[in-house]
Amino acid sequence: MAPTPRHPSLTGWDPVAEGNFLASVFALDGVAGLEIPFSGKLHKEDEAWFLRQLPEDACFVVTTIPGTMARVQADQSFGLASTSASGRRSALDFVQDALESVKRLNGQLGRPAVVALELHAAPVAAKDAASAAALEASLTELAGRDTAGARLVLEHCDALISGQAPAKGFLPLEAEAEAVQRAGDATGHPFGMVVNWGRSVIEQRRPEAGHEHITYLRERGLLGGVVLSGCSSIDTRYGPAWADVHVPPAPPESARSGASDPTIRSDELLEPGSLLTIGRIEECLRAAGPLSETGFRAIKVAAPPNASVEQRVMAIAQTLTVAQQPSRNLQT
């Protein structure tokens, strides 16, 4: 499993605390690597310091979603699927920056440690601002670049749905899959797509959507990874209903009464109001099939606001315990 690291302090950077956090996460049973957020560099404070904290034998997935969203907020035409020539060019340049960061990480560890670079079909698909044709053109161009051994994969985020406030609001899954398929056929690059369970469910407002998206992509031969990130149809301590805030999974003993339990122990960081249950994890992992054919498996989980380093590590540990119950053979 590859968890996504969360900055252990919301009030300022503490390298000692963050170093302890990273070491503790890597020491957890079942952690084979990390998903690293890329915003323009691999660490918002000190990339060189961060790279020195990484174990020599770990594997990594670099995701461009934080930098993508920041740039979309500054320029609504930014994105690989943009119908604006300048917006698409800016996105291609941003991906090149991410590829350079992949090379720096690999150089630090002396091997091709980054297994995948996650891309996204920004911008918001409103008023013909985005198209599958533009996305295909971007992917086709990127296939000719040096990826330093990393597979280029498109993470599906929630599509723009009429009458529904989006979290991301990008292209529909089917349009993305068509672009990825065509770019792969044209270039020979082994493009794939990643399902983030929570983002698929947020899009459809149905917990079955994650399984459906996984099945759809696997049947097309495009599944390149599964990220177990939860969400909730009700307000929780992690955020409002249907927010893309990486709600932890439901605890095994949860009665799922339809309400977040305010009496849950302070050291219990799973969320009874989460739609991501052990049963749904099991059906998704079964649908995804073998790692050798369908890419990496990862968890993405938040901790409560103002959580300590210990609580953040515990949130990851508890989520791993739930994710590993359906199968003890998961790895990245």
Q: What is the pLDDT of residues 143-200, one digit of tens each?
A: 999 999 999 999 999 999 999 999 999 999 999 999 999 999 999 999 999 999 999 9
- Tens of pLDDT, residue by residue over 91-148, are 999 999 999 999 999 999 999 999 999 999 999 999 999 999 999 999 999 999 999 9
Q: What is the pLDDT of residues 187-215, one digit of tens each?
A: 999 999 999 999 999 999 999 999 999 99
Strand order in the sheet with 114-119: 33-37, 59-63, 114-119, 151-156, 192-196, 223-228, 296-299
Contact 131, 85 (CB under 8 A): no
Q: What is the pLDDT of residue 255?
A: 37
| CA distances, 74 to each of 27, 123, 178 (Å) | 38, 11, 28
Answer whether residue 332 shows pLDDT above 50: no
- Give the Cβ contact number of residue 119 at 10 Å: 29
pLDDT of the residue at 4: 64
Q: Distance between terminal CA atoms of the chain?
A: 5
Residue 265: its pLDDT value, please?
47
> What is the average pLDDT score of the chain?
92
CB 269 within 8 A of CB 314: yes
Distance from CA of residue 321 to its chain's centroid? Answer: 19
The better pLDDT of the pair 266, 173 is held by: 173
Dihedral sign computed on CA atoms, order 276, 278, 280, 284: positive
Closest CA to 277 of 319, 238, 226: 319
- Higher pLDDT pick, 271 / 305: 271
Rounded CA-CA distance 270/254 in Å is 10
Q: Is the pLDDT of residue 31 over 60?
A: yes
Across 18-22, 36-40, 130-134, 263-267, least confident range: 263-267
34 to 79, 82, 232: CA distances (angstroms)? 25, 29, 24
Report pLDDT for 306.
Answer: 83
Weakest mean pLDDT among 40-54, 118-132, 153-167, 256-270: 256-270
Q: Confidence band (pLDDT; 50, 70, 90) for 225? A: very high
Lowest average pLDDT, out of 51-65, 112-126, 293-307, 317-331, goes to 317-331
Secondary structure (3-state) at 5: coil
Report whether pLDDT(44) > 60: yes
The answer, yes or no, to whether the previous bond of 112 is cis (omega within 30 of 0) is no
Residues 162 and 218: their CA atoms lie apart, in Å, by: 27
Average pLDDT over residues 304-315: 89
70 pLDDT above the threshold of 60:
yes
Please state, for a pLDDT cut of 90, what percent of the chain lies above it.
85
Closest to 101 measured CA to CA, from 41, 157, 188: 41
Supply 59's token pair. 């594997």
Q: Residues 320, 312, 113, 106: what is their CA dihedral angle, to the nearest 10 degrees?
A: 180
